[in-house]
Homo-oligomer: A and B are copies of this chain.
Amino acid sequence: MTNRPRIHRMTKQRQMILEVLQNTKAHPTADWIYEQVRQAVPRISLGTVYRNLRVLKEMGDIQELNYGSTYSRFDGNPAPHYHFVCQDCGKVMDIDLPLLTDYDEQVAGTVGGQVDFHRMEFYGNCSDCLT
């Protein structure tokens, strides 16, 4: 019994959440997204935001990040890329450097499994927090 593929509808809420995420470089939290979308869709609920973030992630339109926090951040750019996290202010920035794709094969060899993708995060202090 293979289950019929789920059909996704493009609601006003889902549309807005995706737009907000695609128009910021801030890698925001669910709550920040909620506050933004609320300005256009006042009666939206936080539960709806979470549900849509999960669906958008499953559809491959966004990605979820959780770097050393108790909460998740979301990225409107689904293409693999690395991140820099400032340990002082918590800011997350995109890193514009080529991916180390060759490493995946080596890792697959040492663990004896299959590697689909990898992630890399750099930690330190951003220029604003160096003084």
Contacts and interface: CB of A to CB of B under 8 A. Distances in A.
Contact of A66 (B68, B84, B120): B68
A87 interface: yes
A122 B127 contact: no
A126 interface: yes
Contact of A84 (B68, B69, B111, B127): B111
Interface size, A (range): 35 or more
A112 interface: yes
A103 B115 CA distance: 21
A123 interface: yes
Interface in A77-131: 82, 84, 86-87, 93, 95-97, 100, 103-104, 106-108, 110-127, 129-130
A87 B114 CA distance: 10
Contacts of A122: 103-104, 107, 111, 115, 117-118
Contacts of A110: 95-97
A87 B117 CA distance: 11
Interface of A: 64, 66-69, 82, 84, 86-87, 93, 95-97, 100, 103-104, 106-108, 110-127, 129-130
